[in-house]
Structure 1
């Protein structure tokens, strides 16, 4: 498993899915796998159709998250932001082939319906 450095600590990238089918970007601590942080926020009220290649990044709690994702070729900024409360969350376009390599079982188990 590939390790990433974020805020001076080592993490594994563990993509997950929110209950409505949108991707969640989770970093799991190398030192203690029970510890994790979620770099994304679920701002979508509608269920995802197909496999979503975008997610909103939690710059409220992790202002450096977008830079981390871009530096590691995990995502790029889409140019779009959505406001929630006082925060504007950037939408990231995800590098799905690379995310898949980190957790193929998560993607294979996902309940994805194509329309």
Structure 2
């Protein structure tokens, strides 16, 4: 089930690409993506925001920082606070489970490899900054296609 990307606009006219997050607690919410990095290790951070009365407000953190450095495009998913997160990721082809988990307190957090192409679609500025900061150089597809 691959959901369609929607666009919401805030009161200032800023557009955000969104997917629908379905929660057993809150129902359906259109969420926009915020991609950044955790300061202590440079790992990928993915936050979700929702439109509240014309403004983008924080909805939840999709990822959690557990201290150790993860491979590029990988992050631990906060299944403690978002128990439906893995279904959301799978349904929207956002990433794949690596098979690794890390325990913190009473919870185990799955490590996901996120799909960079899908993240570029949803949050192009955030993923571009992440890649720049990580030193990830992308092959210029346009140059290769013209040769």
Would you say same fold, with TM above 0.5?
Answer: yes
Structure 2 residues without counterparts, runs of 5 or longer = 1-6, 8-16, 137-147
Counterpart in the other structure of 1:4: 19
Counterpart in the other structure of 1:65: 85
C-alpha separation in 2, matches of 1:94 and 1:70? 10
Equivalent of residue 100 in structure 2, options 72, 80, 91: 80
C-alpha separation in 1, matches of 2:66 and 2:127? 21
Counterpart in the other structure of 1:28: 49
C-alpha separation in 1, matches of 2:68 and 2:101? 16
C-alpha separation in 2, matches of 1:21 and 1:64? 26
Counterpart in the other structure of 1:90: 110
> Per chain length, whose mean CA-contact separation is higher, i.e. which structure has more relative contact order (CA < 8 Å, sep 6+)?
1
**What is the aligned length?**
111
What TM-score do you get using the length of structure 2 for normalisation? 0.67
What TM-score do you get using the length of structure 1 for normalisation? 0.83
Structure 1 residues without counterparts, runs of 5 or longer = none
Structure showing greater radius of gyration is 2
